[in-house]
Every structure is written in C-alpha cells, then in structure tokens.
Structure 1
Amino acid sequence: MSRWDDMTGRRTGADYAARFDALAASGADVHGEASFCTALAPPPARILDAGCGTGRVAIRLAELGHDVVGVDLDPSMLAVARERAPQVPWLEADLARLDLAAAGLSAAFDLVVAAGNVVPLVAPGTEPQVVSALARHLRPDGLLVTGFGLDAAHLPLDEPTVTLADFDAWCGDAGLQLHARFATWDGTPYAGGGYAVSVHRRTR
C-alpha cells in the first residue's frame, strides 16, 4: 500500500480538486508545472502525467496542445479527472508496475512528469521500481520531470522519505542522467532547501 493510501484511503478526489479550484478562483497560478514542462517540451509533445491525481496538470497540458496520458492509483482522483476531461486517456495503475503498452497505449513519451510529491508517497521500498518504470516509458533523450519535498515542511508526512542522492542513484540505474535542478516550478535555481524540481534525461 502506498503512503498516499495510508493518508487518504483513496477517498479525497473531490476535496483535493476543490482546494485547487479555490486557489485558482483567488487568482493564484495553479499551472506552474504545466508551464515548466511546456518550456522543456513544446507542443505537440507526448507527455505522461504519472500520479496525475484529479488531472490538474494533465488537463492544462492538453489545453496547451500536448498529447497527454494520465495515470494514478487513486480511483477517487481519477473520477474527477474523467469528469473534467473525458477526452484524455486516464488509467488506474500502480506506477511501480506501469506498462502502458500492455494497456494498448503507446509507451514512448517525450516527457514524463511526476509532480505533487508523487515519489515520496509511493509504497515504501518501491521507489527504484517506480523510477525504472517511468524511465522505460521515455523515448531516447526523453525527460523525466519530478518535484517533491525533502523535509517535513514540504511534505504531508512527519518526515522525509527520499533524498536527492538516493533519487539520483535510482535515476542513474534506470538510464537517466541529471539535466537540471530547480527549487521551484518557476525555475528558481536550486541551492539546497526543502523542495526540488529535477529534470533527468534518458541516456540509454
């Protein structure tokens, strides 16, 4: 069971969506991740939103002209995504065992994005498998983009579960090389701190 399951019981889709709807209504920019990814891979790129939740990032990417697939393990989240964007393919699946080809979808993506603390919230011990599975869905030279907290202040957890050193090692084992790292989705350079946005490129 994932850490997300432990926290939510897979029943929080509507509440999660409402929180971001309120932020958007207040004038906050809730599309930083999509803008960041579009700068790296201009449309029409093929993008996988891994741990897509209610589809906030994937739907915006589709609006920007990308060919998008969303994957998540939480059916309550996917129910919201499917209601809001029925034209986008949404798949319920465990990222550690992700195989889109077996589901009848092309598995070659220009970019895979895992935003919203996806990596720290997968099932304990499956992090390397998740990274490997995401890497396998990238075309050669494709990009894995992740953003997650490194301390309790930037996580919905009491303590961090992933270090950048471990994450980079898992990426290296999966044929990915660090391309760039930032402190925020608006491109602020990373100089240490509790949150990191990492861009890894598939080199083999």
Structure 2
Amino acid sequence: MSARERSGWEELTANDPNHSSWYVDRFRTLAADGTDIVGEARLVDAMLARGSHVLDAGCGPGRIGGYLHEAGHTVVGVDIDPVLIDAAREDYPGPTWQVGDLAELSLEQREFDAIVSAGNVVTFLAPSTRETVLANFASHLATDGRAIVGFGANRGYEFADFLRDAEKAGLTPDALFSTWDLRPFREGADFLVAVLSKSDHDSASVR
C-alpha cells in the first residue's frame, strides 16, 4: 500500500514545527487589536436560518466556527492540525472541534446546511485528494445545503481546476465572488469565493 500523500499544511508544519503556534498567536493578536477576522463567517451566517448545522472544514483555530456558534448555529469544526484544534477548543468553547483529515471525512452528522472552507484551506490539500475532499463536502451537505469555499490565486490550485473538480465531485456553482463581501468575480480576479450546491439538487429542482 502506498503512503498517503501529505497535505501542504502537513509539509509546512513538518518543516517548521513552530508554524502552528505562530498561526494561533497571529489570529489572537489580530482579534485583540480589534481587526475584523470574521468576515467569512458573516457571509455564511447571512445565508442561513437560525439554528442551522454548519461544518467548518479546515477550521484552524476556530474564528469562523466560533462566530457562527455565537450566532446560534450548531457547528462542527474539523482540522488536520491538533495544535489548531486545541486553540479552537480553548478560545471558542461551544462548537464540536475535532482533529480529522478532510480526505477521509465521515461524520456522524451527515446533512449540514452549510459547509465553509476559508483561509485558503483547499490550496493546502494534497493534489491527489482535492476531488475526494470536494466529494466528501457533497456527501455531507443537506439537499438544500451549500458549500462556501474561498481561496486566493497563485497558490497552486487554479480557479478553473477547482471548479472542474467541484463539478466532478457533484457540486455546482450557484454564485462566484472575488471577495467575502460579495464583489462580483471577474476574469483575472486574485481571489475566489464559490457558493456551491449539490448537482443532483439542481437537476431535481428544474423537473
């Protein structure tokens, strides 16, 4: 059996064991300084009814899932890095935080109203697992659920390739933006926020 391909984040932290702690401290400092670190969460919250179920996929130290919990949603956060999960549990009690590989995602909660993957998470995925991760998103979405994925350009995952992988995985774009504050996506944009729904739901809705 071949060894599992390590994700970009695993490679990064293997090369710099202090990186995860630095990342946690960075967001704690930004929050303490009054910097807005939850713009992504506000967008997701605006799309949801109160009390929705949300999966924070690649949750990091919990800033997005923590906000959504405080807004009244039931949140599960998953990240491959145990240092980041420990920080999420400490800073944002309430959601269910767990260490896990998005390429092997199989949660007891199978129908989330929203799955959010921010912070360039998809660009850290091992290339061989990208389509598998997106298929896992599709399998964990409720019929009317949406996945919201945001990442920057020039990070090793072309926007066109991502959208092609999403289609193969059973996710259809409902809307594309170039920022988390909903500026329209245009050719040459340096960021993509994709709002995706399950392809079978789209096809069923037009029958």
Long gaps (5+) in structure 2 = 1-5, 201-207
Aligned to 1:113: 116
Q: Tell me if the contact between 2:116 and 2:147 (Cα under 8 Å) persists in the aligned partners.
A: yes
Unaligned stretches of 5+ residues in structure 1: 152-159
TM-score w.r.t. the length of structure 1 is: 0.89
Give the match for residue 124 of structure 1. 127
Instruction: Give the length in aligned residue pairs.
Output: 192
- When residues 94 and 203 of structure 1 are mapped into structure 2, their CA distance, relative to the original with a 3 A threshold, is same
Question: What is the DSSP-based 3-state SS (H/G/I as helix, E as strand, rest coil) of the residue aligned with 2:28?
Answer: helix
Provide the identity percentage: 41
CA–CA distance in structure 1, aligned partners of residues 18 and 81 of structure 2: 8
Query: For residue 13 of structure 2, what is the aligned residue in structure 1?
Result: 8
Matched-pair contact (CA < 8 Å) for 1:13–1:78: no
Give runs of ≥4 in structure 1 deviating > 4 Å: none
Matched, 1:76 2:76: no
Larger radius of gyration: 2
Decide whether the 8 Å contact of 1:24 with 1:30 is kept in 2. Answer: yes
- Please tell me whether the aligned partners of residues 66 and 93 of structure 2 are also in contact (alpha carbons under 8 angstroms): no
Classify 1:148/1:29 alpha carbon distance in 2 versus 1 (closer, same or farther; 3 Å): same
Q: Distance in 2 between matches of 1:140 and 1:56?
A: 27
Hey, what's the Cα distance between the residues in 2 that align with 1:140 and 1:203?
Answer: 10
Answer 1 or 2: which has greater helix percent. Answer: 2
Counterpart code for 2:9: W
CA distance in 2, matches of 1:77, 1:121: 15
Amino acid across the alignment from 2:103 = A
1:49-68 counterparts in 2 under 5 A? 49-68=56-75
The 8 Å contact of residues 140 and 203 in structure 1, kept in 2 or not, is answered as no
2:103 to 79, 82, 96: 96
Asked whether the 8 Å contact 2:52–2:73 carries over to 1, the reply is yes
State the alpha-carbon separation in 2 of the partners of residues 59 and 17 from structure 1. 14
The within-5 A match list for 1:27-46 is 27-46=34-53
Determine the structure 1 residue equivalent to 2:139. 136
Contact 1:182 1:190 in 2 (8 A): yes
